[in-house]
Chain A
């Protein structure tokens, strides 16, 4: 053998292991970087050079040319990533629905004193109290006050729910902005990745960045992602391209036609509504258009039933002044239910079913109309004659609790699945400091050995030169 070939091999080894230690440094440096996939050096033995026929040629055969660091490989888990994204869509949707239901629970504040159920009970009780002493100014005032707090409770619930619904506008705007930003960056990354691949390199860190963006994007909307053979990523949303090569689509918000205070999502430049089924945006839309709306509708039904039922009976009765035909409530929904101005004077409240000023038919001691109003509490006036107003409200609260419980479980189980899948991804592509330390020692030792080789060859050459002098 010639000493010079040995030096070449040692040099290659030194360079390869120095590079490998740089890879280890990069891994250790990124141990806490979100979305980072660990990289590993791939060593390849350098085949014997056939062009230099003499080099390394002995009777025993040829020796290779040492080692080469042929590739820095990114250890990724793409199939797990796809599942993670799918589960993240589900988790983020349910998390929003769960939060909304909890917000509604807080607004409704059942079971507690001062909730609608309590206020409504007090309302009916006030009428029953009045029925036994219809002349009493105090009891009339009591009916008025109880009714006022019933009305204001309904108004407040309705307003708070409506404002929660409007509150989603900001979230929709922010989310749409996030989607647009991510999509822009993905398009830029596509161009960069193609550029790096073109010069024969591996765009490892660009791919990490891209995967992280795709994860985040999946939390927001249910996109479909395909990786093209040229290394670019194509992103679809509801059959439309969001990202293709360097081109990025864009989402925009418009006022909903059915309620201009609410925002809907469209593809920029079109009026085509984007109906998302997964991700945070889908959760927002479902929470707003079905979860909150259902409760609002139920409250409206309760308010409307109260208004018509109480007004019917009240209008048939007589105030202490002998006037009949007065309404008790005004309005038609939970938002606008109010006490009729006709009963602002409490003596106008119709407790009697006959004219109390006409001694031939009635008198101030007649409280039978108040009894009739108190009896509406038990009348089966809703759900096709199967539920009283109280029953209807209670089933609404039970349904709310069941929905919240369900959303809780859905969010918790998809969270668990996300965690599990992310754990599996971490197992494959996460950085283990122990592993890196061992690798570091291994490469360090190899480097030291190669360096030793250089010094051995150097000594050998020294000997040879000394021999020549002698």
Chain B
């Protein structure tokens, strides 16, 4: 086999080129910390990485939704509790007022407090969250409850619209409580009736006693909704927790697919550097070796 000068040189040049390219690839990987920079680096891995990134973004957007859902439910629960404590107080007052030993003056005083309780309850039912009325169904711009100062009737101006949030794929959760349910009408009516009875001249312990049952009934209606809302808030919290776990798991997966094992990458880069340097030395020696050098 004849080995010509050009053959040797072109081979060394080619090897140098290839070695330099390999070194460059490894350097880029190490400096970026990524194993996949272009789809061709690992086509299937790229597909996986894209899928995981999408899943992460979807997860993030569900987490944002869950935060809003949770806020709605918490604000709702707090408002219901305000109405609940108004009923508690009314219950105590009604118990006291149903005692015949109470006189007219005392009943007037109690009536004042009950009126205040009614106003508190209505105001709680008109709670706004981020400038949206939470108890008016879809009519989030409309104040749901209106208290007539004369008749003390409370009218509902909202609708029965149930606001659903998709809190995880395919899971629709109703986050609002439209005001057209007994949890509102019963407490308002119970308070108004108590107030009316207290103000009726010649009211006796007996006429007022009827109201205690009504208040209890109202409390039950309210409690039923409070419990439902509380349960939903808990479900939201659980899903939130799960999604946070999922987020960590997905980050981990993405890192496994996409990221470079730094120790391994650095080692491989250093090996390649050595190989390249050796080649350079070989190339430097080659040019000195011809017969002409020895014929002087």
Which residues of A are in contact with B by a Cβ distance under 8 Å? Answer: 31-32, 101-102, 105-106, 108, 110-111, 117-118, 121-122, 124-125, 128-129, 131-133, 135, 352, 354, 356, 359-360, 362-368, 371, 374-375, 377-378, 390, 393-395, 397-402, 404-405, 408, 419, 422-423, 426-428, 430-435, 437-438, 441
27 A-B residue pairs with CB within 8 Å: A102-B40, A106-B38, A108-B39, A111-B53, A117-B54, A118-B53, A125-B60, A128-B61, A129-B65, A131-B65, A131-B165, A133-B130, A359-B159, A365-B132, A365-B140, A365-B161, A394-B54, A397-B39, A398-B39, A401-B39, A401-B44, A404-B38, A426-B6, A426-B10, A431-B5, A434-B290, A437-B291
A135 touches B159 (CB 8 A): no
Q: Which of B128-160 contact A (CB under 8 A)?
A: 130, 132, 136-142, 158-159
Contact code string B39-54 (vs A, CB < 8 Å = 1, else 0): 1111110110111011
Tally of A-B residue pairs with Cβ under 8 A? 187
Considering only CB atoms and an 8 Å cut-off, how many residues of chain B contact the other chain? 58
Residue of A110, A356, A435, A438 touching B138 (CB-CB under 8 A):
A356
Q: Which of B4, B42, B164 contacts A371 (CB 8 A)?
A: B164
A111-B46, A117-B53, A419-B14 known; A135 vs B69 contact (CB < 8 Å): no
Whether B47 lies near A398 (C-beta < 8 A) is yes
In angstroms, Cα B51 to Cα A125, docked, is 15
Find B46's partner among A362, A377, A398, A430 (CB 8 Å cutoff): A398
Cα A122 to Cα B50 in complex, Å, equals 14
User: Bound complex: CA of A117 vs CA of B48, how far in Å?
Assistant: 12
Determine the chain A residues whose CB is within 8 A of the CB of B54 once the complex forms.
Answer: 117, 121, 390, 394
Q: Which B residues are CB-close (under 8 A) to A122?
A: 57
Task: Determine the distance from Cα of A323 to Cα of B50 in the docked complex, in whole angstroms.
Answer: 38
CA of A374 to CA of B164 in the docked complex: distance in angstroms?
Answer: 14
- The answer on a CB contact under 8 Å between B6 and A31 is yes
Q: How far is the CA of A393 from the CA of B166 in the complex (A)?
A: 25
The 6 A-B residue pairs whose C-beta atoms are closest, nearest first, are A363-B138, A401-B39, A401-B43, A404-B40, A365-B140, A125-B61
Interface contact B53-A125, CB-CB below 8 Å: no
Contact of A394 among B50, B139, B141 (CB under 8 A): B50
A365-B137, A365-B176, A366-B163 given as contacts; is B38 within 8 A of A32 (CB)? no
Contact A427 B292 (CB under 8 A): no
A405 touches B14 (CB 8 A): no
